[in-house]
A = this chain, B = another copy of it.
Amino acid sequence: MATRTAAQKRAEAKMEYDAFLAECPSRQLLDRISDKWVALVLAALGGDDVYPGSDRAGGPVPMRYSELARRLAGVSQKMLTQTLRSLERDGLVTRSVTPTVPVTVTYELTGLGISLHRAIRGIKLWAETHMDEVIANRERYDAPPEG
Residues of A within 8 A of B (CB): 10, 13-14, 16-18, 20, 23-30, 33-34, 36, 39-40, 43, 50-52, 72-75, 88-92, 112, 115-116, 119-120, 122-128, 130-131, 133-134, 136-138, 140-142
Contact = CB atoms under 8 A, between A and B. Distances in A.
Contacts of A50: 20, 24
Main secondary structure of the interface of A (DSSP, over half): helix
Contact of A13 (B10, B74, B124, B130): B74
Given A24-B52, A50-B24, A134-B91, A73 B16 contact: yes
Contacts of A128: 25-26
Chain copies in complex: 2
Contacts of A17: 72-75
Given A17-B73, A134-B112, A123 B26 contact: yes
Nearest to A118: B126
30 contacts: A13-B73, A16-B73, A17-B73, A17-B75, A23-B51, A23-B52, A25-B124, A25-B127, A25-B128, A26-B52, A26-B124, A26-B128, A27-B39, A28-B131, A28-B134, A29-B123, A29-B124, A88-B141, A89-B138, A89-B141, A90-B134, A90-B137, A91-B133, A91-B134, A91-B138, A92-B134, A112-B130, A112-B133, A119-B122, A119-B126
